[in-house]
Structure 1
Amino acid sequence: MLILLSMDDDQPLVDRNRHIRKKRLRDLSHKIYKVQLRMHNRKAKRDIPRLQAQLHALHKAYNETMRGNMQDMPKRVAPPKLCPVCGGRIGKGYHICKPGQWRR
């Protein structure tokens, strides 16, 4: 009798953003509920198109978050600012060009 043990390779990867996704879903569902309540208010009859658009956007964000399409924004390093006179880097605060640093 031959018993084959197979490793489950098709298990989902660990979701690093699970806690962020759960918070975002909670916040979005709360906002959806509030907009739905606002739509049922008598005074909101004139704002129905705006509220429907807002509700549609919230549902779309909720569905994208549920599907896991959250993308982390890549951090881009800003290029250093250069002084047009001396060509040196400009940091925070004031920049004073000294005569010895000027471009020739």
Structure 2
Amino acid sequence: MDNKQHWEQVYTTKASDSVSWFQEHADQSLRLIHNTRLGKDAAIIDVGGGTSRLVDDLVAEGYTDLTVFDLSSTALAVARQRLGKHADIVHWIEGDITRAKFPMNRF
């Protein structure tokens, strides 16, 4: 089983709040983002974001240039559905981060 198959299986067989790494709020990640003192329009990417609720908190705080990148299309779909109408302001990218190419200085 390759990495993509593994993560698709995880996210199709387990509820997002039943995995061992679940956090209601990603407090440490939020603290690190806040400590950068970047503006709410700064480009932020959550690599391996899966079904993490970090994006929910960032949207709620008014951040406007958010990207969630994950290998699992299922995980991204779960997060998108959870965000509802707010999902439209997030860039969702399915892919392998070891092969990703982004514009220079984007993130």
TM range, smaller chain: under 0.3
Larger Rg: 1
Higher RCO (CA < 8 A, seq sep 6+): 2
Query: TM-score by structure 1 length?
Result: 0.23
Structure having the higher helix fraction is 1
Q: Answer 1 or 2: which has greater strand percent.
A: 2
What is the TM-score with the length of structure 2 in the denominator? 0.23
